[in-house]
Amino acid sequence: MLAVLAACKSTPETAPFEVTVRLPNEPESLHPIFSKSLYASQIESLILLPIAEYDPMTMTLSPLLITAIPVGEKVTEGKHANGKVFHLQFRPEANWADGKPVTGEDYLFTFKSVYNPHVNAPSWKSFMDFISEIVVDPNDPKKVSVYLDSTYILDLEATTNFNLYPAHTYDPENIMSGFTLEELRDPGKQWTAEQDSLLKRFATLYESPEYFRETVSGSGPYQLDQWMTGEFIRLIRKEHWWGDQLKDPPLLLQAYPSAITYRIILDAAAAEAALKAGEIDLMAEVPVSDFIRLKGDDQWKDKLQFATPALMQVNYIEVNNRDSILADARIRKALAYSIDYDGILNEVMQGLARRATGPIHPDKPYYDAALQPIKQDVNQSLSLIQQAGWKDTNGNGTPDKMIGGKREELKLEIKITNKEEGMAIANIVKENAAKAGFEIDIVVVDPSQLQQDVRQNNFELLPLRVRAFPSADDPFPIWHSSNDRQGGSNRSGFHNAELDQVLEELRTTENSETRDADYKRFQEILYDQQPAIFLYVPLERIIGSQRIELQTSARRPGYFENLLKPAGS
């Protein structure tokens, strides 16, 4: 078995094996702290390795940059008494692209960079907030002790499950070494003019185009070779990568292709043509109708391979609760009752999906199966609109209402890109909502514009997807009202005092029964208030060339390009 794996590895002694993968959208950057795109994540993790990551097959946390997954130990004395400590040991082989070793100083730098007051990283801060202190062993820079003073549901993940940055590359002026993590995390800290100037300088450089698209460097098996905007992103395998020294490396430290090219092809038909022509080896997110057609096509069904792994993902309609119309829960619920969910499952997804009632994936043990998926009920929708005080007073066929001294029509806008799935869902929503009196305009925008609109909360309705993780869910970043701010992660703008309290307790309780009750109440509140409209859990649709050996996974994007091998290897 070891001989077979060694033969597949792209080393100077073996023939190069390159693969080309279709990318449906172009990421805005390859800088994990700032990038928002799911497509960025799959590339970033091949360059800037996480300290630990969930294995694509076993779904258990696997040590990548560290020798073993640490076990939290109770602290019995000192300033962290009654808290917990995790001891990390970085692999002796682990090094950066320039050969310098990965150390605890890089770990500390990554935290410091997030807490620089001029760096806009709210989601990372929320994730890391429970870390109290980081101590690098003065006698061994590869040993780190991480302290938490209070309970956190994702304490292990907050300690290990994030991309690690090389301090000397991303802070070449060594600015952040002049500040302690403790003072950076102090919201009341008063900086001198000189200190503030330095912090601003670091933040400006850290968030510059150079680190977004040019200097993208880490400890992973691949390095960025070329990025041609709108065309492709190309990674090449490092010639002397430290992971090759490991005897039995975890799956995510294995790297078979000598080069991975991500062809940016927005149009699904163009991607299909490229696959048939042998220009790409793999494409996911294939439109359902195209997937089923090709799978049944006698000319292609034996020349291509097809896979439909179950994805840890929930597709939904993001609702902007800040909007004057959508701020009313009765209107949100009326819209939810107007939707033809069976039509979406049968016509759009053609059976390759199942209903969802909320953001918790149905395979999670705390998923509330007692909540029955909402079914289309136009009469209920009409009743809710009437209860909310909407009626057609000017005879134009659309209900209206005085809001803030202005007469508003029951008109909404749903923004989409030109992807087939989103367009089909938008049309079903528009057609069926009209039966209840809603007038919905479909606005098609460029993917990059959509990303910008999402960041700026410039939308009313938006078909999106939320990625689920093998770890326990912490809904706090997305649903707590404190995260509804500029650059915050609460996109919906939903505020609910009881929900805030539930989320605060859920992430900090040590009692499993309390946590399960909190998960249940979280799902009940969202079901009752409909701050977002949850649609379905999809099966991925992947088509690959027969020249590759494909392994699929429930983790997005359904495959791992570093594990692609030549067929028959």
User: What is the maximum alpha-carbon separation in the chain?
Assistant: 80
Strands 52-54 and 61-63: antiparallel
Q: What is the CA radius of gyration of the chain?
A: 25
Q: What is the pLDDT of residue 87?
A: 98
Q: CB–CB of 169/111 below 8 Å?
A: no
Exposure string (b/e) for 340-376, b if CB count within 10 Å is 16 or more?
A: bbebbbeebbeebbebbbbbbbbeeebbbeebeebeb
Task: Mention every residue, 6+ apart, whose C-beta is less than 8 A from residue 287.
Answer: 268, 419, 420, 421, 541
Give yes or no for residue 4 having a pLDDT over 70.
Answer: no
> In the predicted model, what is the mean pLDDT of residues 138-159?
96
Whole-number Å distance between alpha carbons of 213 and 130: 31
Tokens encoding 468: 């689920």
Residue 127 confidence class, pLDDT cut points 50, 70, 90: confident
Q: How confident is the model over 333-374, as pLDDT tens digits?
A: 999 999 999 999 999 999 999 999 999 999 999 999 999 999
Whole-number Å distance between alpha carbons of 291 and 309: 13
Q: What is the pLDDT of residue 14?
A: 55
Q: How confident is the model over 223-239, as pLDDT tens digits?
A: 999 999 999 999 999 99
Q: CB–CB of 360/523 below 8 Å?
A: yes
Give yes or no for residue 388 having a pLDDT over 80.
Answer: yes
Q: Which strand (E) or helix (H) includes residue 413?
A: strand 411-416
Give yes or no for residue 21 having a pLDDT over 50.
Answer: yes
Q: CB–CB of 268/286 below 8 Å?
A: yes
Tokens encoding 120: 């806009």
- Which residues partner with 532 through β-bridges? 318
Q: What are phi and psi of 464, to 5 degrees?
A: -135, 180
Q: CB–CB of 218/30 below 8 Å?
A: no
Regarding predicted confidence, which is higher, 557 or 414? 414
Tokens encoding 140: 């061994």
The set of long-range contacts for 246-249, using a CB threshold of 8 Å and a minimum separation of 24, is 246/91, 246/93
> In the predicted model, what is the mean pLDDT of residues 144-158?
95
Mean pLDDT of the chain: 93
Give yes or no for residue 468 having a pLDDT over 50.
Answer: yes
